[in-house]
């Protein structure tokens, strides 16, 4: 059984790397909007045997309950990597042959993008990886078995995950996908996102209604 794992942190503390350009309220609003877009895609995924949510954020638990997803609650979050590894062990104990970790800040993602990863034909040990836009981070990671190697999300993680997969003698499948690679961590990511057609996204609506999009366009024009 191939499963999908969604690690959801407390959105009130999300996107700290945008603190220089967004207020705390704006960071929270952006995080909520991107979560809504990602969840909308997840709801249409066909190939996940189960969907697990690892979180200590009560609204996320409510969202999981509404959709009959499995909740892996945690008292606190040391790091996303630690949360994902703990959750992956539990998923494996509950019968998962592979676990796809997906971040929750992918405003352009579509269900087909997720299903394409879950559909990759491979046998354990194996890892399917999607890098971040700059090629250094890991935006999606599917491992067979789920505990094949430890997680190291953040800058430099893609190379580290690939190295550890090689050390585990795993087959490695690298997939490039512009929608999966378009997460938003810092100002450059947000500027790049604004170059896309966001008309069908909750994130695009929020960026327009909040005035953030107009503010960023004005800055770009001024430069």
Kindly state the average pLDDT of the residues 148-172: 94
More reliable by pLDDT, 147 or 14: 147
pTM of the complete model: 0.93
Please determine, for residue 223, whether its predicted confidence score (pLDDT) is greater than 90: no
pLDDT confidence band for 82 (50 / 70 / 90)? very high
User: What tens digit of pLDDT does each residue of 183-208 get?
Assistant: 999 999 999 999 999 999 999 999 99
Kindly state the average pLDDT of the residues 55-66: 94
Is the CB of residue 19 less than 8 Å from the CB of residue 190? no
Q: Shortest CA distance to 117 belongs to which of 103, 107, 130?
A: 130
Is residue 83 helix, strand or coil? helix
Residue 31: C-alpha distances to residues 24, 28, 64, 94, 155 (Å): 11, 5, 17, 30, 20
Question: Of the CATH numbers 1.10.10.10, 3.90.550.10, 3.40.50.2300, 3.40.47.10, which one belongs to the domain with range 2-222?
Answer: 3.90.550.10
Peptide bond into 145 cis (omega under 30): yes
Q: What is the pLDDT of residue 221?
A: 54
CA gap 92, 16 in Å, rounded: 32
Who contacts 110 (Cβ-Cβ below 8 Å, separation ≥6)? 41, 179
Q: What is the pLDDT of residue 219?
A: 72
Ranges of each domain in the chain: 2-222
Q: What is the pLDDT of residue 220?
A: 60
């Amino acid at each position: 059984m191939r499963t999908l794992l969604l690690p959801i942190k407390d959105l009130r503390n999300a996107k700290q790397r945008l603190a220089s350009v967004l207020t705390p309220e704006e960071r929270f609003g952006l995080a909520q909007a991107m979560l809504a877009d990602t969840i909308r895609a997840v709801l249409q995924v066909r190939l996940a045997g189960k969907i697990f949510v690892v979180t200590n954020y009560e609204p996320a638990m409510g969202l999981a309950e509404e959709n009959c997803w499995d909740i892996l609650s945690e008292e606190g979050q040391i790091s996303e990597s630690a949360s994902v590894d703990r959750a992956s062990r539990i998923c494996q104990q509950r019968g998962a042959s592979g676990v796809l970790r997906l971040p929750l800040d992918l405003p352009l993602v579509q269900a087909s993008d997720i299903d394409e990863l879950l559909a990759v034909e491979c046998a354990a040990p194996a890892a399917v990886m999607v890098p971040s836009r700059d090629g250094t981070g890991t935006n999606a990671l599917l491992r067979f078995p789920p505990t094949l190697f430890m997680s190291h999300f953040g800058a430099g993680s893609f190379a580290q995950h690939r190295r550890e997969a090689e050390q585990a003698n795993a087959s490695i499948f690298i997939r490039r996908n512009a929608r999966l690679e378009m997460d938003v961590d810092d100002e450059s990511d947000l500027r790049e996102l604004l170059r896309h057609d966001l008309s069908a996204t909750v994130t695009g609506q929020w960026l327009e209604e909040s005035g953030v999009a107009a503010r960023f366009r004005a800055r770009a024009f001024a430069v």
